Amino acid sequence: MMNIKAATKYQLNEYIKSVRIFYLVVILVTLFFGGIVNFGDSSNVNMMGGTEMSTAIFLFVLGLNSFKETFLMMLQNSTTRKTMFVSRLIAVLATGVSMAIIDRFIISFAKLFTYVNENYQVSGMYEMVFQNRAESLHTVIMNLEAILITIGVYIAAIIAGYFITTAYYRMNKILKVAVSVGVPVTLFFLLPIIDMSVYDGKISRAIGKLFAFVFGGESGNPYNLLISCLLFSVVGIGLSWLLIRKAVEKN
Amino acid sequence: MSIEIKNISKNFGSTCALDSVSLTFEENKIYGLLGRNGAGKTTLLNIITNRIFADSGEVLVDGIPSKENDQALKKIYMMGEKNFYPNNMKIKEIFRWTKEFYPSFDTEYANKLTEVFELSLNKNVKSLSTGYNSIFKVIIALSVNTPYVLCDEPVLGLDANHRDLFYRLLIERYSDSPSTFIISTHLIEEVANVIEDVIIIKKGKIIKNESREELMSIGYTVSGMSSLVDEFINGKEVIGIDSIGGLKSAYVIGQIIKESVPQGLEITKMDLQKLFIKLTNA
Amino acid sequence: MNISFNEERPIFIQIAEGIEDAILSGAFKEESQIPSITEFSVNYRINPATALKGINILVEEGIIYKKRGVGMFVSIGAVEQLKGKRKEQFYDNFIRNLVEEANRLGISKDEIITLLERGYVK
């Protein structure tokens, strides 16, 4: 693992380049809407929420974009798959944690506008999903818990993207097409049909229940989400490793 | 101290790229890895550097198996024919990262070489011509200072001046601080004087592995009138014949006693390029 | 000195002969330092091991000697020694070829002698 420091530095650096641009846009948007609301017409109720959702999507895409180029660069620089994988996980963890904290700061900052104008409402994803709980907690604890949950979501998002891109790298052309067509068709076409005709909607109800549980169940427990994300990440990491350990340079 | 290749085999689907290859690259020597296109040169180098995996066999770098081992792999730098660097990366950034991964990389020397080759440090990889794509990798190979440097078709796309410059710099660098260079190429003539040992690979098999001098002394060229040449080579091991009009040149394996050569025949040494062509023709 | 390599003989022998020529022509004077192995190999784009092999022939013959840490020098008496050696080779290298080529061209012995005299007049 001699290269782990250099490999981590490299992969973090790649993430940071994209993250910088992302935040530049987020901050501009926040200021822009904050400004409009406060200095413009203030009779309407405006809402800003779900910054974390855009971050999660961004991280998913970031995960998607980060395999082939880095893989070749690592091979060029005598880095084993093992080392590049471990350093990738370190980079993912560091990015997920930092962005969760930064996002919380942005949300807290945006909330300042609400003191100026009551019609402007700001809330993070956490407060939106777990409204009752968020209101019952002390602000500091609420923010800390929000960060913790967000970390889980972010890591799961990058890992999901990363797993997909690694899987695609390992597949040959035919398999790629088969998966690209087969998965959406199965999920959005075959599954609903089978569900309706054979199982009388049991499948969709089961999926609904699963989602309800993940998002806190009846008690609205945010740790259901955290644990689900972590489980998802662990499985994703395991599968990605199985794919990467045998990955080779392809012509 | 050596790279030891033990019984490496590799198949791509039904084609056999390497067939139980065993050989040793010793410390501080310049090797020529010669073979026609598709003979298995790049496959062998890719296996040594852990870019692809062998089906069987192993590679030891200073006694340590190189497969998935950072410690062994760090001793090797490979400049591939294919580009592995990100397309959007600037040359100076590539140098910076190379220094991170190979602390022995001499950035100052590399910068000097970019001036010699007239390569701008601010250029992107993707904006480079084929020639300059080889040049920036050659510059890294000459500056990286690892014990083993593998060059796969290093002069691809280079003009005559730059090729000559490369060979000069290579010898300079090798004389200053020797390390093992493995130069894989199908352009033998130019590299012939630079290399010490020759490895010829044909259809995934090593067919020659000896010093250049030995290889060239395994035979000779005899030329003269066809009838005389025919008479002379009768019963000798001939690997090839070229004839123009009534004249013939035969490439003969074996030693020769000068006095036994009849008048009218001329004996010259075996030419590496010709020997290579004769040996590797299917 | 300038060596243009030919295909006929091993490079290391040609390096040795190139240095011999330079000594005979006075380019490398007796007791003077000659270029290093690196300079030879870089200049002629040859493997240093090859250059070393060529120079070692001359060292063994005593035409060149090494001073540890300083470099290589032409021995005293090297020119005389080389002349002697070259004279011995003169028959093999020139006369044999001369006669062979003359036979191919149908030049008689007397004609050769005439030609030789013409060569000296010039």
- Tell whether B193 lies on the interface with C, counting CB pairs under 8 A: yes
Structural domain count of chain C: 2
- Tell whether B30 lies on the interface with C, counting CB pairs under 8 A: yes
Average pLDDT over residues A73-100: 95
pLDDT tens for B59-94 read 999 999 999 999 999 999 999 989 999 999 999 999
Decide: C9 and B197 in contact? Cβ < 8 Å: no
Question: In terms of residue numbers, what domain contains C68?
Answer: 11-76
Residues C57 and C96 in one domain: no
A contacts of B124 (beta carbons < 8 Å): none
Residues 6+ apart with CB under 8 A from B153: B81, B134, B184, B185, B186
Which residue matches tokens 């959005």? A188
The segment with the largest mean pLDDT, out of A129-143, B17-31, C63-77, is B17-31
A contacts of B93 (beta carbons < 8 Å): none
Question: Are the Cβ atoms of B80 and A69 closer than 8 angstroms?
Answer: no
Question: Are the Cβ atoms of C104 and B264 closer than 8 angstroms?
Answer: yes
Residues C15 and C68 in one domain: yes
pLDDT tens for C35-59 read 999 888 988 889 999 899 999 999 9
B contacts of A69 (beta carbons < 8 Å): 86-87
Residues B92 and B177 in one domain: yes
- Tell whether B266 lies on the interface with C, counting CB pairs under 8 A: no
- Tell whether B104 lies on the interface with A, counting CB pairs under 8 A: no
pLDDT tens for A203-212 read 888 888 888 8
Question: Are the Cβ atoms of C7 and B30 closer than 8 angstroms?
Answer: no
The pLDDT of residue A218 is above 80: no
* CATH code of the domain containing B233: 3.30.70
- The pLDDT of residue A199 is 80
- The pLDDT of residue B277 is 82
Nearest CA in chain A to B48: A78
Assess if residue C1 is contained within a domain: no
Decide: B226 and B246 in contact? Cβ < 8 Å: yes
Residues B91 and B54 in one domain: yes
Question: Are the Cβ atoms of B271 and C7 closer than 8 angstroms?
Answer: yes
Q: What is the 3-state secondary structure (H, E, C) of chain B?
A: CEEEEEEEEEEECCEEEEEEEEEEEECCCEEEEECCCCCCHHHHHHHHCCCCCCCEEEEEECCEECCCCHHHHCCEEEECCCCCCCCCCEHHHHHHHHHHHCCCCCHHHHHHHHHHCCCCCCCEHHHCCHHHHHHHHHHHHHHCCCCEEEEECCCCCCCHHHHHHHHHHHHHHHHHCCCEEEEEECCHHHHCCCCCEEEEEECCEEEEEEEHHHHHHCEEEEEEEHHHHHHHHCCCEEEEEEEECCEEEEEEECCCCHHHCCCCCEEEECCHHHHHHHHHCC
User: Closest to B194 (Cβ–Cβ): which among C7, C37, C45?
Assistant: C45
Residues C16 and C72 in one domain: yes
The pLDDT of residue A219 is above 80: no
Q: Do A and B share at least 3 CB pairs under 8 Å?
A: yes
Assess if residue C46 is contained within a domain: yes
The mean predicted confidence, pLDDT, of chain B is 90
Nearest CA in chain B to C105: B264
Residues C49 and C63 in one domain: yes
Question: Are the Cβ atoms of C9 and B196 closer than 8 angstroms?
Answer: no
Chains that touch C (3 or more CB pairs under 8 A): B
B contacts of C46 (beta carbons < 8 Å): 171, 193-194
Residues C66 and C97 in one domain: no
Distance CA B75, CA B25 (A): 13
Question: Are the Cβ atoms of B102 and A78 closer than 8 angstroms?
Answer: yes
Assess if residue C15 is contained within a domain: yes
Residues B232 and B114 in one domain: no
Assess if residue C4 is contained within a domain: no
Q: ∠ CA(B230), CA(B232), CA(B237), 5° rounding?
A: 85
Residue with the larger pLDDT of the pair B261 and A40: B261
* CATH code of the domain containing C28: 1.10.10.10
Q: ∠ CA(B118), CA(B124), CA(B128), 5° rounding?
A: 55
Question: Are the Cβ atoms of B269 and C103 closer than 8 angstroms?
Answer: no
Residues C20 and C62 in one domain: yes
Window C:39-98, CB contacts with B under 8 Å: 41-42, 44-50
- Give the residue from A4, A16, A76, A77 with the most B CB atoms within 10 Å of its CB, the best one to mutate: A76
Question: In terms of residue numbers, what domain contains B227?
Answer: 218-281
Which sign, positive or negative, has the C-alpha torsion A60, A63, A64, A65? positive
- b/e code A217-251 from CB counts within 10 Å (16+ = b): eeeeebebbbebbeebbeebbeebbebbeebbbee
B134 to chain A nearest CA, in Å? 14
Distance CA B49, CA B95 (A): 20
With the CA atoms of A80, A81, A87 and A92 taken in that order, what torsion angle do they form, in degrees rounded to the nearest 10?
160
- Tell whether B216 lies on the interface with C, counting CB pairs under 8 A: yes
Assess if residue C85 is contained within a domain: yes
Which two tokens mark B173?
């660098």
Nearest CA in chain B to C37: B175
A145 to chain B nearest CA, in Å? 38
The pLDDT of residue A39 is above 90: no
SS3 (DSSP) at A120:
strand
Assess if residue C6 is contained within a domain: no
ipTM: 0.88
User: Closest to C45 (Cβ–Cβ): which among B167, B212, B217?
Assistant: B167
Average pLDDT over residues A142-171: 93
B61 to chain A nearest CA, in Å? 13
Nearest CA in chain C to B193: C46
Residues C55 and C26 in one domain: yes
Q: Can you give the residue ranges of every domain in chain A?
A: 4-170+215-244
Counting Cα atoms < 13 Å in the Cβ hemisphere of A129 gives 26
Distance CA A25, CA A21 (A): 6
pLDDT category, C6, cuts 50, 70, 90? low
> For the packed helices B130-143 and B107-116, what is the interaxial angle rounded to 10 degrees?
150
Residues C72 and C95 in one domain: no
Question: Are the Cβ atoms of B51 and A75 closer than 8 angstroms?
Answer: yes
Average pLDDT over residues A149-161: 94
pLDDT category, A125, cuts 50, 70, 90? confident
Average pLDDT over residues C69-75: 90
Assess if residue C110 is contained within a domain: yes
Question: Are the Cβ atoms of B213 and C38 closer than 8 angstroms?
Answer: no
C contacts of B167 (beta carbons < 8 Å): 45
Residues B180 and B250 in one domain: no
pLDDT category, A131, cuts 50, 70, 90? confident
- The pLDDT of residue C3 is 65
- The pLDDT of residue A41 is 57
Which two tokens mark A143?
């923010």
Which two tokens mark B187?
């352009």
User: Closest to A72 (Cβ–Cβ): which among B70, B84, B100?
Assistant: B84
Chains that touch A (3 or more CB pairs under 8 A): B
- The pLDDT of residue C122 is 65
The pLDDT of residue A42 is above 60: no
Distance CA A12, CA B99 (A): 17
- The pLDDT of residue A43 is 58
C contacts of B194 (beta carbons < 8 Å): 45-47
- Tell whether B66 lies on the interface with A, counting CB pairs under 8 A: no
Residues C106 and C72 in one domain: no
Average pLDDT over residues A120-126: 77
Residues B251 and B124 in one domain: no
The pLDDT of residue A162 is above 90: yes
Assess if residue C59 is contained within a domain: yes
Q: Do A and C share at least 3 CB pairs under 8 Å?
A: no
User: Closest to B68 (Cβ–Cβ): which among A76, A82, A248?
Assistant: A82
Residues B226 and B118 in one domain: no
Residues C61 and C40 in one domain: yes
Average pLDDT for runs of 10 along chain B of length 282: 94 92 94 91 95 95 93 94 93 96 96 95 94 95 96 92 93 91 88 90 92 83 86 84 84 78 79 79 71
Residues 6+ apart with CB under 8 A from B140: B77, B79, B94, B95, B98, B105, B110
Query: Can you give the pTM of this predicted structure?
Result: 0.85
Q: Which of B158, B188, B211 is the last residue of a domain?
A: B211
A vs B, Cβ pairs < 8 A, gives 65
Distance CA B144, CA B110 (A): 9
Average pLDDT over residues A81-101: 95
Question: Are the Cβ atoms of B97 and A73 closer than 8 angstroms?
Answer: yes
Structural domain count of chain B: 2
- Tell whether C38 lies on the interface with B, counting CB pairs under 8 A: yes
User: Closest to A76 (Cβ–Cβ): which among B68, B74, B85?
Assistant: B85
